[in-house]
Amino acid sequence: MTKQIERKYFAGPRLNLTEISEFLERRKVQQYVKEHQIKIPNLAKPEVYLEGIVDDFVKKGLLDLKERLRQISPNKSEVFDILDDYGSMPRVLIVKKYEDITQLKKQLLRDRFIYMQLKDLPPYLNFVPFSRPICFKKIVGEFYYVIRRVKGKNLDEKLQNGASSKDIEAIEKILEHFADFHATSRYFAGGEYEISEEINGELISDSIGKFNYLENMLERAVVGKNHPQTLESLEGTVNESIGIKLKNWIKRRIKKDLSPKKEYKLSEKYERLGYNDKLLPFLREYKKFIDKKLSILPFEAILHCDAYPTNVLEGGTIIDPKPLKRGNPMLDISHFLISPKFDFINQQGSITTENLLDSYFNHLSEQLNLDSATRKELRETYNPHVAHNSICLIGAMLDQSKKDPKKKKDARYFFNKAVDIMEELKLDNLKNLFIDYVKNSEYAKENGLLMKIGIDFDGVISDSTRLKINMAKKMYNIDLQPEHCSKNNAEEAGLPKEDYEKMVREIYGTDFFLSAEEIPEVKETIERLVERGNEVYIITSRSEKEVKIAEKWLANRGIPYTELVKTNEQSKLPVCKEKGIDVFIDDTYEKLEELTGNRLSLYLFSSPANRNIEIKHQDIKIAKDWKKLSNFL
């Protein structure tokens, strides 16, 4: 018997129930459920279920219910472990306190809407695709929303150290869950849509509007929360060339944020990149990007809108959907696959992003019988969505870096990811305007989004190995090998340290050095770093005369940099502190050792002379070449 979707869950345009029935029949849901004796929970009286669980807790002395509920902060959650008769996996109740009862009811409706579409899907490893909304209740004078789901880590936590074969299997299954959700919800996505349901004797309704990329980017990357001054600056400068809808959105936000009833606490403040005079040119170009790359809709689906790995449990359960919107399903898939953890998995060789996208599209095509042209058109919108979501995440990661410094690295990752894709899509104007906007963001400067990179000159930028070999033969009739071309190693070839130093001064202090080669890919990498707004400081212990030769060599090669700094002492630490260096690269291990313990990212640039060095400090990483170093940076 085919499951019929009851009309009471969906109001709005007429639904083609025959199509939906045929869709569910293709998946043979009921047959699978019957064969595997899966218990489908009864949602008829969810409040009775909740009260039974709570009563059981109290009877067993597991909690002082009233006190524990009182301690939940507004819009925060408390987790209760439970054991029930639905499967063998440990489960939890998530109890969230809401100040706004209207917001609570709409959240319940949204969660129920998703759950009712997917609750009959075959579970994976005893996990169901979406968490199950239970009810909302007024307890001890406050409103609480209750969800039941399996217990487990979120996927972001699970993938901290890479992915096992079982993790890869789970990730592929999660993508199939998203494909099922998008395929099913496709039937409800056309036109302006409203969902409604009678819950606890009250009719609750909510609209499903179209996803707005410009508002989303402004909300998450530019404005943040509780920053009315940014909104006021926008209101005074945004004109109809950006869009009348955006003007109205800004007015609504100002009215909300400047309400005299609002009393903001510092802890509620979520800062973002903010307003500067480079924002409007960027917004105008971003609107063109949205129209040409993001608004392509081979078909519409209802979107989760917050499908990051933090909102997916390790076994496959998808949690915490945001206000439902209609739009391109690549928004959700790019949310999910955008994490730096997936780049790490790619580097492990476990599976590639392309393989994971295949898992999603193969399942989606199977459910919807997508033709190859539609599938190709939809897939081509994936990278533009990655760029959009990367921009949106920059401000959030910087905000979180105040408590977790590692998040600063994630912010830089997303900044560079966005720029990489703009380059790949040949969106040079958008890329340049975006970089200009970020470079002029006071918030980005204060929180170190753009790096200050210190680089040793000799052996990292310039390669004088050939010159040293020739000069050793000329001055001392000694045949140096590349691995002997350092002060510490020269004696192995019979060249005393004093003579080596004399030879080096002869090379570095004359125009003879101008024929030195550059390290492969150094120019391209430094150009890219500087173009993206990073500051590059070349830090050297050369003499004044030798520095002038180095400047001449750099000018001849066209290698850009912010400043060439001469150290007046052997240690480079004072200069690094003075310039606020974030990253330092040197080919001499001892120089890097002096910098450990100062919150610097340190890289030993590999050369024949240091390949047998034992790395004793975990702060120091080896960079085999500039291509590898570029990936690190």
pLDDT, one tens digit per residue, over 256-301 is 554 444 443 433 456 788 888 898 889 889 989 999 999 888 778 8
Average pLDDT over residues 541-546: 90
Q: How many domains does the chain have?
A: 3
94 & 144 share domain: yes
Averaged over 545-556, what is the pLDDT? 94
Residue 154's pLDDT is 84
Let me know whether 312 and 435 are in one domain: yes
Return the pLDDT at 59: 53
pLDDT at 182 over 70: yes
Q: Spell out the SS3 assignment of 476-499.
A: HCCCCCHHHCCCCCHHHHCCCHHH
Kind of pairing, strands 517-518 and 535-540?
A: unpaired
pLDDT at res. 253 = 61
> What does the pLDDT look like over 447-482, one tens digit per residue?
889 999 999 999 999 998 899 889 988 898 988 888
Q: How far is CA 610 from CA 461, 489, 502, 540, in A?
A: 16, 9, 21, 18
d(C-alpha 444, C-alpha 530), whole Å: 16
Q: Are residues 407 and 442 in the same domain?
A: yes
Residue pLDDT, tens place only, 16-63: 333 333 433 443 434 433 444 433 333 333 333 344 444 544 454 444
Strand ranges inside 337-481, DSSP E? 452-455, 462-463
Task: Select, from the ranges 65-69, 270-274, 409-413, 567-571, the one with the highest average predicted confidence (pLDDT).
Answer: 409-413
Q: Which 3 state secondary structure label does DSSP give 458?
A: strand
163-167, 374-378, 400-404, 601-605: least confident range: 163-167
For residue 373, what are the contacts with CB-CB under 8 A and spacing of at least 6? none
Task: Tell which wins on pLDDT, 523 or 348.
Answer: 523
The CATH number linked to 301 is 3.90.1200.10
pLDDT of 602 reads: 92
Rounded Cα distance between 114 and 124, Å, is 18
Q: Dihedrals φ, ψ of 461, to 5°? A: -105, -50
What confidence category does residue 514 fall into, taking pLDDT thresholds of 50, 70 and 90? very high
The mean pLDDT of 402-407, rounded to a whole number, is 85
Instruction: Count Cβ atoms within 10 A of the Cβ of residue 440 and give its class: 0-12 exposed, 13-18 middle, 19 or more buried.
Output: middle
Q: Which amino acid, 257?
A: D
347 within domain boundaries: yes
Residues 579 and 625 in one domain: yes
1 band by pLDDT with thresholds 50, 70 and 90: very low
Q: How confident is the model at residue 112 (pLDDT cuts 50, 70, 90)?
A: confident
**Percentage of the chain modeled with pLDDT above 70:** 70
pLDDT digits (tens, 9 = 90+) for 552-581: 999 999 999 999 999 876 789 999 999 999
Together in a domain, 301 and 441: yes
* Torsional sign, CA 266, 272, 275, 280: negative
Looking at per-residue pLDDT, the higher value among 269 and 498 belongs to 498
Q: Residue 117 is part of which domain span?
A: 45-151
Average pLDDT, the chain: 76
| pLDDT of 397 above 70 | yes
- 95 is a domain residue: yes
Position 189 scores a pLDDT of: 46
Amino acid symbol at 157: E
Lookup result for tokens 């039941």 = 148
Q: Are residues 136 and 182 located together in one domain of the fold?
A: no
Q: Which of 425-429, 488-492, 623-627 has the highest mean pLDDT?
A: 425-429
Check: CB of residue 312 under 8 Å from CB of residue 335. no
- Clarify whether residues 442 and 590 are in a common domain: no
Residues 212 and 85 in one domain: no
Written as six digits, the tokens of 357 are 């996208």
Q: Which amino acid is at 146?
A: V
Residues 131 and 180 in one domain: no
CA distance 409 to 387: 17
CA distance 594 to 539: 15
